[in-house]
Amino acid sequence: MTHARARRVALALVLSPVLVVTGLAYDAHARRAAKSNDEPAIDALARRLPTSDLALSGGARWLRAISLEEPGAAFADGPASPDPDPAGAAMAPPTELWSR
Amino acid sequence: MKTSILAFALRALARRKARAFALGGGLAFAVALVAAVVFLTESLRAEAERAHAAHPDIVVQRLVGGRPTTISAADAAKLTDIPSVRSVTPRVWGYVFLPSLQGNVTIVGTSKGAPPLSMGNGVLAEGRDLAPGAHEMIAGAELARFLGMRPGDELGLPTSNPDARALKLVGTFRSSLDLYTADVLVCDEEDARALLVLPPGDATDLAITLSNAAEARVVARTITERLPGARVIERDLLARVYHLAYGRRAGFVLGASIPAILALLVLAWDRASGLGPDERKEIAVLKAVGWSTSDVLWAKLFESLLVGASATALGLLLGYAWIFWLGAPGLRPALVGWSVLYPRAALTPAVDVAQLLGISLAVMGPFALLSVVPAWRAATADPLDTMRT
């Protein structure tokens, strides 16, 4: 590797976080802008739904509207303790079996 | 001059490729893991709060035996004259268990005067809004897909009420709204009442909108005085629930990641604990040929900076790609749970430049600085002594 080339490569590596941060920030901005097209739809939909809770763990916890039915949801399991409901862990149960 | 030292640092790293790749790889993995958890948590919080503003300022439920139960719609009349209350709407909604799904479907009744849903306002992917009294329904895209239904199909939902009618699917929600509608089935209020076996005159809860949201606390106190035993839920308090719920999950996942974080600390300790004999010899030779202590320190600092910067960049890129380009495989169930009806909508990044820079500096700063102390020790030693030993 020539000295000039080593210098260019080294500079590129040192500046790589700046390039990556700029690129990711741009991508995130573009995705947020695309999502903002959905804002009126979300607004119209939210007025017809009972809560703005996300449809994430209803099947597992049997609590779709957690914020209304279990306002202490954030603390129910105890800080840093494993979740007794199967709603959060690294391995999911075989959900395809449930539907048979 | 400094760029020449930088080029020298790169060539020095190239001479110790295996060590540089081991350090950089471990660091990149740890950065990717932490960044991915932060990206996913922030994205979920933003999604949960996106629809928050459209919701009623106060929701009133009735408690029996400490558990929520149905409330008399007539109780609404007791609240309408409270100052600042603009409207009180009894709502009908609840759950129906579908054996074929082995999960709950959320039935939402549409009251008269509800804002319309259409393909035009971007809510529906296909079909139209409900016609009152026509026994129709709109389902989430995921639910319709699971049940194999298309607009025009009819579905009889399991209920103990023999008067409940089968509902005709007239529309499905757009899949980009899956996070809110994956398990939702919207129908006429009377159909919802029949399915949920809710007696006439009862409601699931009361939704209250205020002319001045800042007065929610005062209005809530008045409601508890007028409806003893009622549970009053203010909208602003719900925002805290979302915030804490996802924060707790992020903490749990990061806690489980402690071995990876420890690996990072071991790498840092390796940097701090001193230089190898080859590196000491190299520094001695540099000093012998006329490099100053400052030049040696810069060279070692640049070596750490090169490894740290490229590993941080790679880690951030991997973390971002993992969550937003690949859909967070492996991490998504850990942070958001799972269900038979699982929303498949892509997540939207909520991360900003400040957070990205924060993660970068938190990793690179200590990593680079840790290399200075052992380098300074070696650079201030007598070159002849070092070469002899």
Average pLDDT of span B14-36: 85
% pLDDT > 90, chain B? 28
Residue of B10, B62, B336, B355 to mutate for A, most A C-beta atoms under 10 A? B10
* Mean pLDDT score across all residues of chain B: 84
Neighbours of B241 (CB within 10 A): 21
pLDDT confidence of residue A85: 45
Q: What is the pLDDT of residues B227-266, one digit of tens each?
A: 988 888 888 777 776 666 666 666 767 776 777 667 776 7
Same domain, B140 and B258: no
Assess whether pLDDT exceeds 60 at residue A43: yes
Q: Is residue A18 part of a domain?
A: yes
Average pLDDT of span B21-28: 84
Q: Which amino acid is at B246?
A: Y
Contacts of B245 in chain A (CB under 8 A): 66, 73-74
Using CB atoms, which residue from A1, A51, A80 is nearest to B11?
A: A1
B215 burial (CB, 10 Å; 0-12 / 13-18 / 19+) is middle
Q: Is residue A13 part of a domain?
A: yes
Identify any residues that bridge with B205 across adjacent strands, giving them in sequence order.
B91
pLDDT confidence of residue A93: 54
Q: Is residue A63 part of a domain?
A: no
- B101 contacts A17? CB cut-off 8 A: no
Q: Is residue A21 part of a domain?
A: yes
Nearest CA in chain A to B147: A99
Tell me the C-alpha distance between B27 and A85, whole Å: 34
| Boundaries of domain holding B349 | 2-50+244-388
Half-sphere exposure of residue A70, counting CA atoms within 13 Å on the CB side?
16
Same domain, B37 and B103: no
Q: What is the domain count for chain B?
A: 2
pLDDT confidence of residue A27: 94
* Mean pLDDT score across all residues of chain A: 71
Same domain, B40 and B83: no
Check CB contact of B182 with chain A, cutoff 8 Å.
yes
Which of B172, B205, B234 is where one domain is finished? B234
pLDDT confidence of residue B341: 72
Contacts of A20 in chain B (CB under 8 A): 313, 316-317
Same domain, B132 and B74: yes
Contacts of A88 in chain B (CB under 8 A): 249, 252, 333-337
pLDDT bracket for residue A79 (50, 70, 90): very low
Query: B206, B301, B378: which is closest to B13 by C-alpha?
Result: B301
Evaluate whether B37 touches B253 at the Cβ level (below 8 Å).
Answer: yes
Q: Which long-range contacts (CB under 8 A, 24 or more apart) does B72-75 make?
A: B72/B201, B72/B202, B72/B203, B73/B201, B73/B202, B73/B203, B73/B206, B74/B201, B75/B206, B75/B227, B75/B230
Check CB contact of B140 with chain A, cutoff 8 Å.
yes
What b/e sequence results for B21-45 when a residue is b if at least 16 CB atoms lie within 10 Å of its CB, and e otherwise? Answer: eebbebbbbbbbbbbbbbbbbbbbb
Q: Which long-range contacts (CB under 8 A, 24 or more apart) does B64-70 make?
A: B68/A68, B68/A69, B68/B205, B68/B231, B70/B198, B70/B199, B70/B202, B70/B203, B70/B204
Q: What is the pLDDT of residues A83-98, one digit of tens each?
A: 444 444 445 555 565 5
Tell me the C-alpha distance between B28 and B367, whole Å: 12
Assess whether pLDDT exceeds 60 at residue B348: yes
% pLDDT > 70, chain A? 56
Same domain, B45 and B95: no
Evaluate whether A86 touches A60 at the Cβ level (below 8 Å).
Answer: yes
pLDDT confidence of residue B87: 92
Half-sphere exposure of residue B327, counting CA atoms within 13 Å on the CB side?
7
Assess whether pLDDT exceeds 80 at residue B32: yes
Assess whether pLDDT exceeds 60 at residue B80: yes
Q: Does B389 or B20 have the greater pLDDT score?
A: B20
Q: What is the pLDDT of residues A51-68, one digit of tens each?
A: 777 776 554 455 667 667
Same domain, B8 and B127: no
- B110 contacts A79? CB cut-off 8 A: no
Check CB contact of B289 with chain A, cutoff 8 Å.
no
pLDDT bracket for residue B90 (50, 70, 90): very high
The distance of B101 to chain A (nearest Cα, Å) reads: 5
What does the H/E/C string look like for chain A? CCHHHHHHHHHHHHHHHHHHHHHHHHHHHHHHHHHHCCHHHHHHHHCCCCCCCCCCCHHHHCCCCHHHHCCCCCCCCCCCCCCCCCCCCCCCCCHHHHCC
Same domain, B111 and B174: yes
Same domain, B134 and B64: yes
- Tell the residue number behind the tokens 């690949």, with chain if given: B326
Both structure tokens of B128:
């139209």
Q: Is residue A29 part of a domain?
A: yes
| Boundaries of domain holding A26 | 3-37
Identify any residues that bridge with B136 across adjacent strands, giving them in sequence order.
B168
A31 burial (CB, 10 Å; 0-12 / 13-18 / 19+) is middle
The distance of A88 to chain B (nearest Cα, Å) reads: 5
Q: Is residue A22 part of a domain?
A: yes
Tell me the C-alpha distance between B379 and B373, whole Å: 10
- Tell the residue number behind the tokens 């190239």, with chain if given: B14
Q: What is the domain count for chain A?
A: 1
Tell me the C-alpha distance between B42 and B325, whole Å: 16
- Tell the residue number behind the tokens 């995921």, with chain if given: B142
Evaluate whether B203 touches B108 at the Cβ level (below 8 Å).
Answer: no
Average pLDDT of span B78-104: 88
Assess whether pLDDT exceeds 70 at residue B29: yes
pLDDT bracket for residue B285 (50, 70, 90): confident
pLDDT confidence of residue B50: 79
Q: Is residue A14 part of a domain?
A: yes
A30 burial (CB, 10 Å; 0-12 / 13-18 / 19+) is exposed
Average pLDDT of span A69-73: 57
- A92 contacts B316? CB cut-off 8 A: no
Q: Is residue B199 part of a domain?
A: yes
Q: Is residue B239 part of a domain?
A: no
Residues 7-26, chain A: which have Cβ within 8 Å of B? 7, 9-11, 13-17, 19-22, 24-25
Q: Is residue B28 part of a domain?
A: yes
Q: Is the dihedral of CA B60, B143, A41, A74 positive or negative?
A: positive
Q: Does B19 or A14 have the greater pLDDT score?
A: A14
pLDDT confidence of residue A83: 44
Same domain, B60 and B171: yes
Which of B211, B234, B257 is where one domain is finished? B234
pLDDT confidence of residue B1: 64
- A43 contacts B339? CB cut-off 8 A: no
Which of B234, B258, B273 is where one domain is finished? B234
Assess whether pLDDT exceeds 90 at residue B180: no
Average pLDDT of span B197-221: 92
pLDDT bracket for residue B272 (50, 70, 90): low
Q: Which amino acid is at B147?
A: L
Q: Is residue B182 part of a domain?
A: yes
What's the ipTM?
0.76
Assess whether pLDDT exceeds 90 at residue A24: yes
pLDDT confidence of residue A89: 45
pLDDT confidence of residue B52: 78
Average pLDDT of span B264-289: 73
